[in-house]
C-alpha cells in the first residue's frame, strides 16, 4: 500500500470529521434533537451535543501528524462503527430520525443509504489504519515547517478560503433544498386555497398608492412630443378610459416594457387610450417614441404629471375612467401594470343594445359540434356569459361560475358560455352549461360585449333584458339579482 494512498485516506477522514464537528458545534440545538431521536437520554443530550463534535474535531487533528495518525485512524474507525450501529438499531426499530450528520449543512432522515455511506467511510478508515500500521506514516503537516513565512501565509489563506468555499457551498445547497421544500408547500397551500375559492392575488390586491379610486382625476395640461396640447378634458372626450403610463428613457424596466405598450396601443385602440408620460428630455422621449412606434407620448420633463398623480417609481400607471374619475390605484411595476391593462379591457364601457330590442340572429358552433342560434334559446331566460380561458379576470371568476352551475335550478335563467378562446382551452374549463365558440367575436360585436368577462340577459322572448355588464363583480351581481328575482 503506497504512502500516498494512506495519506489521502487520512486527509479524507480528517476533512469529513472536521466539517461534521464544526457543523454540529454551530447547531447544538439540532444536535441535541438528533441525539434524543437516536435514543440518547434527554438529560445527557446537552453535554453529548458538545462532547461529540469536539471528539470529531480531535479525530481530524490527530489524523494529520505522523506521530498521532494511528490513534486518529482508530478513533475515526470507532466513531464510524458507533454511528453505524446506532443508525442500524433505529432502522430495525422502524425509526428514521434526522441523522444531522453535518448540522444545518445537511440533515436528512436516517436510512439504509446513510449506512451505505458510513460503510464507505469505514473502508477509508480501514485503509488509513492498515497503512499506518504497516508502514512508516507520512505526516500531512511536516512540510509546513519547511515553508518560508510568505509561503506559509499563502497556504493558510488558501486552506481557509477552500474551507469557507466548501462550507459555503454545502450551506447553499442545503438552503436551496429547504427553499425548494418551502416553495412546494406554498404551492400546495395556494392550490388548497384555490380549491376553497380563495385567490391569494385577489385577496392581496393592488397596493394603495396614489389618489383614491372614485375621486376626480386632477385636471392637467401637457404637451406631446410633437407639441400638441393634451388635457384631461381632451382625453375624456374620446369616451374611452385612459391608462396614463409613467416612464423614463433611462429606466431599464421601462425599456423592456415599451414593445408591449406599443402592442397594447395598436391592439386595443378602440377600447382604452394608453398615454405615455415620459420624464426624459424632448430628444430622448422622441427617440423612444420612434424606436418603438409609440403613440400618445407626453413630455413630463419636470415630473409634474408624475407628482400630480402621486406615482411611485417607473414604470407605473394609473387608470382614469371615462368621466374623469380615478379608476385605480397607481400600479407600480410590469406585473401590476399588466393587470391594470386587463382591468381596463375587461371593464371598458359598452352601450350594448337597447333594452327590449330583439337579440341579433347569431349562429355559433357549440363545443359539442352542433350549430346553435340565439333564436333557438327562446322559451327561457338566458344569461350569456362572454368568456376567454386566457383572461386573468375570467380565471378569478371561474370557481364562481362552476358554483353557479351547480346551484342553479330550472327556475333560474339558463347559463350559456360564449367563449372567444379555442376549443381545447374552453373544454378544459369544465363547464356543464351550453358552451358556444366565438373566436371571431361575432356575438360579442353584435351584442356590444367588447371584452371578457362580460354578460347580458336575454329574456324568454328573445329580447335584451339587461345592459351589458363588465368585470367579475358586475357579472356576479347580475347573476345574483336574477336568482333573487
Residue 35, pLDDT score: 83
Residue 132, pLDDT score: 77
**Per-residue b/e over 244-274, b at no fewer than 16 CB within 10 Å?**
bbbbbbebeebbebbeebbebbeebeebbbb
Residue 172, pLDDT score: 66
Query: Locate cell 334559446: which residue?
Result: 377
| 352-376: average pLDDT | 86
Q: How confident is the model at residue 202 (pLDDT cuts 50, 70, 90)?
A: very low
Query: What contacts 142, CB < 8 A, 6 or more positions away?
Result: 65, 66
Residue 324, pLDDT score: 79
SS3 319: strand
Residue 69, pLDDT score: 82
Residue 216 has pLDDT above 60, yes or no: yes
> Among candidates 321, 343, 397, which has minimal Cα distance to 206?
343
Task: Please tell me which residue, 155 or 250, carries the higher pLDDT value.
Answer: 250
**Per-residue b/e over 160-185, b at no fewer than 16 CB within 10 Å?**
eeeeeeebeebbeebeeeeeeeeeee
Count the Cβ atoms, other than its own, within 10 Å of residue 54: 12
Task: Give pLDDT tens digits for 73-94.
Answer: 888 888 888 888 888 888 887 7
Q: How confident is the model at residue 430 (pLDDT cuts 50, 70, 90)?
A: very high
Task: Give pLDDT tens digits for 265-324.
Answer: 988 888 889 999 999 889 989 998 999 899 999 999 889 999 999 998 899 999 988 667
Q: How confident is the model at residue 191 (pLDDT cuts 50, 70, 90)?
A: low
Task: Please tell me which residue, 159 or 24, carries the higher pLDDT value.
Answer: 24
Percentage above 90 pLDDT, the chain: 22
Q: Are 472 and 466 in contact (CB under 8 A)?
A: no
Q: What is the dihedral of CA 111, 113, 119, 124, to 10 degrees?
A: -130
Classify 275 in phi/psi space as left (phi over 0), alpha (psi -120 to 50) or beta.
beta
Residue 120, pLDDT score: 87
- Identify the weakest region by mean pLDDT among 100-104, 108-112, 452-456: 100-104
Task: Please tell me which residue, 50 or 102, carries the higher pLDDT value.
Answer: 50
Average pLDDT value over all residues in the chain: 82
Q: How confident is the model at residue 348 (pLDDT cuts 50, 70, 90)?
A: very low
- Identify the weakest region by mean pLDDT among 90-104, 302-316, 420-434: 90-104
CA–CA separation, 63 and 14 (whole Å): 6
Query: What contacts 355, CB < 8 A, 6 or more positions away?
Result: 463, 464, 465, 466, 467
Residue 203, pLDDT score: 45
Residue 309, pLDDT score: 94
| Distance set, CA 338 to CA 25, 251, 271, 391, 459 (Å) | 50, 18, 15, 12, 36
Q: Are 315 and 251 in contact (CB under 8 A)?
A: yes
Q: How confident is the model at residue 435 (pLDDT cuts 50, 70, 90)?
A: very high
Residue 64 has pLDDT above 60, yes or no: yes
Task: Please tell me which residue, 226 or 349, carries the higher pLDDT value.
Answer: 226
- Identify the weakest region by mean pLDDT among 3-7, 316-320, 354-358: 3-7
Task: Give pLDDT tens digits for 137-169.
Answer: 666 666 556 667 776 677 667 767 776 776 676
| 218-237: average pLDDT | 90
Percentage above 70 pLDDT, the chain: 83
| Distance set, CA 350 to CA 340, 345, 478 (Å) | 18, 11, 16
Task: Please tell me which residue, 181 or 116, carries the higher pLDDT value.
Answer: 116
CA–CA separation, 267 and 379 (whole Å): 38
Residue 345, pLDDT score: 77
Task: Give pLDDT tens digits for 37-53.
Answer: 788 887 888 888 888 88
| 26-43: average pLDDT | 80
| Distance set, CA 400 to CA 82, 118, 139, 198, 482 (Å) | 61, 56, 75, 11, 15
Domains of the chain, start order: 3-146 (no CATH), 221-346 (3.40.30.10), 363-484 (3.40.30.10)
Count the Cβ atoms, other than its own, within 10 Å of residue 333: 16
Residue 141, pLDDT score: 62
Residue 25, pLDDT score: 81
224 bridge partner residues:
298
Amino acid at each position: 500500500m503506497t504512502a500516498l494512498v494512506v495519506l489521502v485516506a487520512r486527509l479524507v477522514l480528517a476533512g469529513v470529521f472536521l466539517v461534521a464537528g464544526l457543523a454540529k458545534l454551530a447547531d447544538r440545538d439540532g444536535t441535541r434533537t438528533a441525539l434524543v431521536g437516536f435514543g440518547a437520554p434527554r438529560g445527557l443530550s446537552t453535554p453529548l451535543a458538545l462532547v461529540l463534535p469536539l471528539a470529531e474535531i480531535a479525530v481530524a487533528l490527530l489524523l494529520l501528524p505522523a506521530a498521532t495518525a494511528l490513534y486518529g485512524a482508530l478513533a475515526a474507525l470507532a466513531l464510524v462503527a458507533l454511528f453505524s450501529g446506532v443508525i442500524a438499531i433505529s432502522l430495525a426499530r422502524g425509526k428514521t430520525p434526522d441523522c444531522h450528520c453535518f448540522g444545518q449543512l445537511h440533515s436528512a432522515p436516517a436510512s439504509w443509504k446513510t449506512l451505505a455511506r458510513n460503510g464507505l467511510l469505514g473502508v477509508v478508515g480501514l485503509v488509513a489504519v492498515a497503512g499506518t500500521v504497516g508502514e512508516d506514516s507520512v505526516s500531512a503537516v511536516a512540510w509546513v515547517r519547511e515553508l518560508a513565512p510568505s509561503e506559509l501565509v499563502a497556504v493558510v489563506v488558501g486552506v481557509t478560503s477552500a474551507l469557507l468555499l466548501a462550507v459555503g457551498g454545502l450551506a447553499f445547497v442545503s438552503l436551496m433544498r429547504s427553499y425548494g421544500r418551502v416553495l412546494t408547500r406554498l404551492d400546495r397551500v395556494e392550490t388548497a386555497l384555490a380549491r376553497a375559492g380563495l385567490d391569494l392575488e385577489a385577496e392581496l390586491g393592488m397596493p394603495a398608492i396614489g389618489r383614491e379610486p372614485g375621486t376626480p382625476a386632477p385636471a392637467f395640461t401637457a404637451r406631446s412630443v410633437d407639441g400638441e396640447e393634451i388635457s384631461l378634458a381632451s382625453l375624456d372626450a374620446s369616451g374611452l378610459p385612459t391608462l396614463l403610463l409613467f416612464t423614463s428613457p433611462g429606466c431599464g424596466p421601462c425599456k423592456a416594457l415599451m414593445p408591449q405598450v406599443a402592442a397594447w396601443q395598436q391592439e386595443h385602440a378602440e377600447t382604452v387610450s394608453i398615454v405615455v408620460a415620459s420624464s426624459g428630455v424632448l430628444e430622448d422621449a422622441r427617440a423612444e417614441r420612434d424606436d418603438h412606434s409609440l403613440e400618445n407620448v407626453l413630455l413630463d420633463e419636470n415630473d409634474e404629471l408624475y407628482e400630480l398623480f402621486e406615482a411611485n417609481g417607473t414604470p407605473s400607471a394609473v387608470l382614469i375612467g371615462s368621466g374623469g374619475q380615478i379608476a385605480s390605484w397607481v400600479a407600480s411595476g410590469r406585473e401590476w401594470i399588466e393587470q391594470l391593462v386587463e382591468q381596463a379591457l375587461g371593464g371598458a364601457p359598452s352601450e350594448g343594445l337597447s333594452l327590449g330590442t330583439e337579440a341579433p340572429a347569431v349562429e355559433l358552433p357549440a363545443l359539442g359540434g352542433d350549430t346553435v342560434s340565439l333564436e333557438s334559446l327562446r322559451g327561457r331566460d338566458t344569461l350569456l356569459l362572454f368568456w376567454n380561458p386566457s383572461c386573468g379576470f375570467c380565471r378569478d371568476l371561474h370557481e364562481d361560475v362552476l358554483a353557479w352551475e351547480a346551484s342553479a335550478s330550472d327556475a333560474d335563467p339558463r347559463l350559456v358560455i360564449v367563449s372567444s378562446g379555442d376549443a381545447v382551452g374552453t373544454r378544459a374549463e369544465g363547464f356543464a352549461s351550453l358552451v358556444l365558440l366565438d373566436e371571431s367575436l361575432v356575438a360579442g360585436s353584435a351584442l356590444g360585449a367588447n371584452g371578457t368577462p362580460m354578460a347580458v340577459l336575454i329574456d324568454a322572448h328573445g329580447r335584451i333584458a339587461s345592459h351589458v355588464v363588465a368585470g367579475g363583480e358586475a357579472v356576479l351581481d347580475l347573476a345574483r339579482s336574477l336568482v333573487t328575482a
